[in-house]
Structure 1
Amino acid sequence: MRQLISRSRAAISQLIYKRIILAVTILFCVGVGIVMANMSQLSSTLIESQALQNATLYAQSIREARALYSADVINPLNNAKLISFTHDYNPTKLTVPVPATFLIELGKNITAKNPEISVRLYSNHPFPWREKEGRARDDFEREALSYLTQNPTQKFFRSENFQGKPAFRYAEADILTASCVNCHNTNSNSPKKDWKVGDVRGILEITQPLDTITQKTRGGLKNLFFLLAGLSILGIAGLTLAISRLRQNAKQLEQRVRERTAQLQETNVELLKEQEKSDRLLLNI
């Protein structure tokens, strides 16, 4: 049994030695396949991470704009009681939009200047004049409302086709403050009048295309892949040359051993002949 195992090992070692370049090439192809699979996964992760960062910054900017508008515009004018506040904002009249209307108008302006980006504010309880555009329109928006109403401090996002193109959709809860609660609960047209501070009034959603991010991310990873592939090919070429050189040296050494063995055999034959002559001479004496 041991002899069989030893012979098998010797046969495998001999096969690997004779086919070392083929074995290295196969290992290289397997390695390339693994690298490509990992890079594809890494590409998807990087794309989503970049899209999430962009959407988070957009949402933060919009929140800051509304907070600044409320603090520096709404509050002073409201205390002075000089201008009326309304959802039906009209620049030609002496009116100022309420914060929610300001956010909606800001989102429309952003979308108008960047058609591929969508900024929306929607709710389960829109005012009557926003009933059509203020409710959830598709599965993502309905799921976002359901999830964020239960988890207002979390974020809800995913990548999916939007209007026929790959897009990243991001949603976060629009939480009521004290001033907003008072406005909603006292407005005669409010569809809900039992709001409390911290309730989720609606959802702020940012939708952005993934084409540009995907192109940049995959372009960078493609260059990295080509670099790794080039270095690997150079490594294999160098290894192949080294193996070829070792094989050549081994053949030369083997040839020298054979020649030396042949010389020793000839010398032994000569010695045997001389020994036989000596033996015959001794017998004749």
Structure 2
Amino acid sequence: MKITQTHAIAFFSVIFMLMASISLFAVQKFQNSTTTLLASRTAEVIATTVNQARVSYSADIAQISSHPDITVETLYHDKPLSIPNPATFAIELGQAVSNRAAGLIIHTYSKYPFKSRTLTGGPQDQFQHDALAHLTTSSPVFERTEKLRGKPVLRHAEAIFMEQSCVDCHNHHPNSPKTDWQVGDIRGAIDVTVPLEGGNDDLAAIVRYSYIIFMAFSVISLLGMFITLKRTHQHSRELDKKVKIRTTILNEMAYTDSLTLIANRRSYEEFSDNIINQKCPNSLPLAIIIYDLDHFKQINDQYGHDIGDECLIAAVKAVSAILPKDNNFHARIGGEEFAIILKHVSNDELEQIIQRVLESVRKVKIPKQADIKITCSIGATLATELNEPTIKNIVKTADDALYEAKSLGRDQWINKPYAVSKKL
């Protein structure tokens, strides 16, 4: 169909709106990713700073605590010449740096808090529990985004490892809940909460300007693309049409017998294997009919292959006409040998269909050679169970029945019961 100006404008508009939507989504994702990355870096710097301050303080405490007049306490505020222990120092440092109104919260907590800090020194929420469960020496950082008072925040947790000075103190402190610490054990974590909203106006402005510039270039590019597509669209449609036609033809050639126009042996084998491989219980009972035109070589030798082909075509048409609709598979599996697969049939229905196949072949007439009498021999079987790895045994039963029909003089049928093989 010829592309009109209206069609071209509509096509252009749809493409532009699609690109605008995708671009806006990508820009927003970029802004969110950048904001999260900046928040992660900020949290990492804060956590590292607090932790390093704690480590340095702990190292200094080792010297100060030896002074006879100075004591290191958890609850040091009301005691003269008493200074906080490293854990208390880190907790109070985090509290001092935190700005809860702005959403910046720093909390140091432990797996094993001292009794005096049981309520506040242990994990306070699910994130802190999850962080302790995931933090290891090889993965000392745990992050995820959450909602705090309805606003998005980044939660960043870093493991606190036991140093030698920490081990000496905790393993000998009378109030320590754990006294078998070793250097490198994870004692707890620093949880840094950083808001993901606010303070990013400059970043938002840069992203917005980038989006405008991108859209301007997109419009220019789409105009050029529109002109090109307008010229090539018709050619592409014609090419696609030819490809589809040729693909359809090739598929038909691959799975259709070129003479009789029913399924060929390849199609028959794939259809049969699918029944077994998919273990289709809705295919049962399953009947297989194999029929073979009698003395067909004599017809070819006496009347020629052209007449022989006419006989094959006429016989197939006659048989196809009497088969149940939408419940059969009819294929040519040899020179003058054919197979029929029927689903959901009883043994009585199978034998009625076999009789009709036999009679329909007998009635075939070849206009150019009215003296030709065509008959067929038929072997069939009915399976009510499928426990074989292939359909080969079912087909063999039908083949054996066909052989018996031929040995009894041809132009007749044998329906041989199918015996399910028993597994040991």
Quick check: 1:47–1:213 contact (8 Å CA) kept in 2?
no
Q: Does 1:36 align with 2:24?
A: yes
**2:189 is the counterpart of 1:203:** yes
In the alignment, the residues of structure 2 paired with residue 193 and residue 15 of structure 1 have an alpha-carbon distance, to the nearest angstrom, of 83
**Counterpart residue number, 1:166:** 152
| Aligned position for 2:3 | 15
| 1:182 corresponding residue in structure 2 | 168
Which residue in 2 is equivalent to 1:61?
A: 49
Alpha carbons 1:152, 1:173 under 8 Å: kept: no
Structure possessing the higher radius of gyration over alpha carbons: 2
Asked if 1:106 is matched to 2:89, the reply is: no
Aligned equivalents of 2:119 and 2:69: distance in 1? 32
1:147 counterpart (116, 134, 143): 134
- Ranges in structure 1 where 5+ consecutive residues have no aligned partner: 1-10, 244-285
Q: Which moves more between the two structures, 152-161 or 217-226?
A: 217-226
Q: Which residue of 1 aligns with 2:112?
A: 125
Give the match for residue 50 of structure 1. 38
Instruction: Show the counterpart of 2:123.
Output: 136
1:268 match: none
Q: Secondary structure at the match of 1:224?
A: helix
1:85-96 matches, cutoff 5 A:
85-90=72-77, 93-96=80-83
Q: Which has the higher helix share?
A: 1
Q: Give CA-to-partner distance per residue, 1:182-233, whole Å, 9 cap, x none.
A: 1111111111111111111111100111112565544432222123224444
- Distance verdict in 2 for CA 1:163–1:25, change over 3 Å: closer
Deviations 1:29-58 (A, max 9, x none): 222122122223222221211111010010
SS at match of 1:212: coil
Q: Which amino acid aligns with 2:175?
A: N
- How far residue 97 of structure 1 moved from its aligned partner, in angstroms, is 1.1
For residue 77 of structure 1, the aligned residue among 64, 75, 94 is 64
Alignment partners' CA distance in 2, 1:152 and 1:175? 12
Write the distance in 2 (CA, Å) between the matches of 1:62 and 1:81: 28
Instruction: Tell me the CA shift for residue 16 of structure 1.
Output: 6.1
Q: For 1:89, what is the secondary structure of its paired residue?
A: coil
> TM-score if structure 1 supplies the norm length?
0.71
Does the CA contact (< 8 Å) of 2:58 and 2:165 recur in 1?
A: no
Superposed displacement of residue 161, structure 1: 0.5
Q: 1:151 to 1:177 in 2, by over 3 A?
A: closer
1:239-254 pair list within 5 angstroms: none
C-alpha deviation, 1:115, in angstroms: 5.2
8 A contact 2:102–2:195 mirrored in 1 = no
CA distance in structure 2 between the partners assigned to 1:113 and 1:40 by the alignment = 27
State TM-score, norm by structure 2: 0.49
User: Which has the larger displacement, 167-176 or 153-162?
Assistant: 153-162
Are the structure 2 counterparts of residues 142 and 209 from structure 1 closer, same or farther at C-alpha, using a change threshold of 3 Å? same
- What SS does the corresponding residue of 2:3 show, helix, strand or coil? helix
Q: Is 2:91–2:107's contact at 8 Å kept on the other side of the alignment?
A: yes
% identical aligned pairs: 29
Confirm whether residue 228 of structure 1 aligns to residue 228 of structure 2: no
Please state whether the residue corresponding to 1:181 is helix, strand or coil: helix
Deviation at 1:28, TM superposition (A): 1.8
Residue 67 of structure 1, CA deviation: 2.5
In 2 relative to 1, CA 84–224 (structure 1 residues): closer, same or farther, beyond 3 Å?
same
Preserved contact between residue 16 and residue 23 of structure 1 (Cα < 8 Å): no
Deviation at 1:18, TM superposition (A): 6.8
**Which deviates more, 25-34 or 156-165?**
25-34
Aligned residue identity for 1:30? L
Instruction: For residue 57 of structure 1, give the secondary structure of its aligned residue in structure 2.
Output: helix
Distance change (3 Å), C-alpha of 1:187 and 1:239: closer
Question: 8 Å contact 2:167–2:183 — kept in the other structure?
Answer: yes
Contact 2:39 2:154 in 1 (8 A): yes
- Aligned partner letter, 2:194: Q
| Counterpart residue identity of residue 62, structure 1 | V
| Aligned equivalents of 2:102, 2:218: Cα separation in 1 | 44
**Separation of aligned partners in 2, 1:58 and 1:135:** 20
Q: Which blocks of at least 5 consecutive residues in structure 2 are unaligned?
A: 229-424
Q: Distance in 2 between matches of 1:106 and 1:91?
A: 18
Higher relative contact order by CA 8 Å / sep ≥ 6: 1 or 2?
Answer: 1
Task: Name the SS for the 1:205 alignment partner.
Answer: strand
